[in-house]
Amino acid sequence: MIDKLTPQGGTWKWGLGCLLLLAPFFFLTYGFANQYAASLSQVPSIVFAWEHAIPLWPWSIVPYWSIDLFYGLSLLLCWNKFELKQHLLRLFSAQVIAVSCFLLFPLKFSFVRPELDGFFGLWFDILMGFDQPYNQAPSLHIVLLVILWDFYRRHSSGAWKWLVDFWSFLIGLSVLTTWQHHFIDIPAGLIVGALCLWLFPVQSKSPFIADHLHLRSAKHYKLASYYLIATILLTATALTLKSSALWLLYPAISLSLVALAYALQRPHFFQKQRNGKMTAASLMLMAPYFAFAWLNSRLWTLKHPEDSLVLQIQQTQIYLGRIPTASERQNYHQVFDCCAELPSPLDDLDRQYLSLDLIPLNTAQLSHAADQFNTLFLEQQQSVLDHENPEHSNNSVTNTNRKILIYCGLGYSRSSAILAAWMYQQQIVISVEEAIQKIETARPWVVIKPKQIEQIQSLNINLPRGASPCK
C-alpha cells in the first residue's frame, strides 16, 4: 500500500488528464452562472460603506491572474494518485459549491472600474472578455486560493513556505484591489475553501469514514442537539440583525460541525493529526469552538492545574492531568493523548486514543485505548532496562524515573477511565474499584460515572505475553 505522501512515478500524466477534465468544467459552469445572473432583472449587492476607500491597484492584476498558472501546475505536481484524487475532489467540490451559491444567491459587484491602459490594462481587458460583475459570494478565487495554498505549502519547505504565504496573501488581496469582489466574498470564500480541504483530507482521516468502535448512544444525540440549538440561535441572530452580526455565522458553522461530530460519533471530525496539531482546514472551520474548548479547559481546572502522580511501577511514574502546554510537555518522557477536540504538543513516540468530550467510552474503546497505553508503558519499561542515555533525549527530565502523562481536556473523565481500564486489564489492581480508588486518592476531583464504571468492569483481563502482572 502506498503511503499518502510517498512519491509515485508517472502521476503527472494522470494529473494532465484531470486538468483536461477540470478546465472545461470550470469555464462552462462559471460562464453559465454569469449568464444566469446577467439575465435577471435585479441582482443585489452586499457592500460596506468603508469599502469605497479600497484603492484600485492595476499592478495587482498580476497576482490575480497568477492563480490560473498555479491551478494548472498543481495537478501536475501531485506526489501520488491518492494526493491527486484528493486534490481533484477538492477542486471539483469547490466549483460545485461556489457555482451553486452563485445560482441560488446571485450578487453583483457595485463599483464601476475606470478604463485602464498599458500592460496592466491589457490584462483587465482580457479578464473582462469572459467575466462579468457577478459570481461574487463566495469568491471562487478565494476558495481555490485556500486549496492551492494548502497544496503548495505541503510541497514546500523552509523559506519556500514563506514565499507561498506571501504570494497567497497578494492573490487574496488582489480580489479587492482589482475591484473584482466586495469584502463579504472573502470570508465566505475562506469558509468554503476550508470545507473543501476538510471534506477531502490528505494527512488525516476522512470525515466520511466511520469507526466500528465508536457506537452512538442517546448521550451523543443529546449533546449534538445542544450544539445544533446553539447553531440555530447564532444563525437566526446573524440573519435578523445582519451588518456586523453576520460574523456570528462563523461560530455557527463551527458548532454545526461539532454537532455532526457528536451525532455521527466521529472524533476525527476535528482532524487532529499524529503530531497533535489540527489540519489547516479544521483550524479555519472550528477556530471559534477550539477557543471556547481551550478556555473551558482552563477555567474548569483553575483550582487544580497540577498533574497528579497516580502510581509508580519500578522506575516508571504515571501521571494524570489536563492537556499540557508545550513547556509542560517537556516534564515527561512520553504522553498519552485522549483529547480529540484540542491541539496538543506531541513527540514522535507519543501515542493517542482520541475520544469526544463528555461521552463515556464503551468496552471496545476502553480495551483498544488500554492496549495503546500499554504499548507506551512497555516502551518506557524497556528504556529503563536499556539504561538510555539522557543526553540523547530531547526532554528536560532525567532517567532516574521515567515519567508518563495521560491526559484529556481536564484530566477528569476520559483519561481517568482509560487509566483505570489499563490498570484493571493488566491486573495492576485486583478490581475496578481499587483502580478508581488509586486514581481518586491521587486526584480527588476526577469524575468517573457509574455507566463508565460498568464498561470498565466488562473488560477482559489481559496479561502481557510472557509476563506476570505488574504490581
Q: Which residues are catalytic?
A: 408
- First vs last C-alpha separation in the chain: 41
Neighbours of 301 (CB within 10 A): 18
Burial zone of 65 (CB within 10 Å; 0-12 exposed, 13-18 middle, 19+ buried): middle
Q: Are strands 334-339 and 316-322 parallel, antiparallel or unpaired?
A: unpaired
Q: Which of 251, 249, 255 has its CA nearest to residue 224?
A: 255
159-177 helix and 61-76 helix, angle to the nearest 10 degrees: 130
Q: Which of 288, 294, 380 has its CA nearest to residue 343?
A: 294
**Distance set, CA 265 to CA 23, 119, 269, 270 (Å):** 38, 56, 9, 12
Distance, in Å, from the CA atom of 283 to the CA atom of 458, rounded to the nearest integer, reads 37
Distance, in Å, from the CA atom of 250 to the CA atom of 263, rounded to the nearest integer, reads 20
Q: Which of 144, 149, 119, 113 has its CA nearest to residue 131?
A: 113
Angle at 241 between CA 237 and CA 246, to 5 degrees: 75
Largest CA distance in the chain: 85
What stretch of H or E contains 404? strand 402-408
Q: Which of 344, 456, 455, 341 has its CA nearest to residue 405?
A: 344
**Distance set, CA 69 to CA 44, 64, 158 (Å):** 32, 10, 23
DSSP E strand boundaries for 221-349: 308-313, 316-322, 334-339
Distance, in Å, from the CA atom of 93 to the CA atom of 198, rounded to the nearest integer, reads 11
- The sign of the CA dihedral 131, 132, 133, 139 is negative
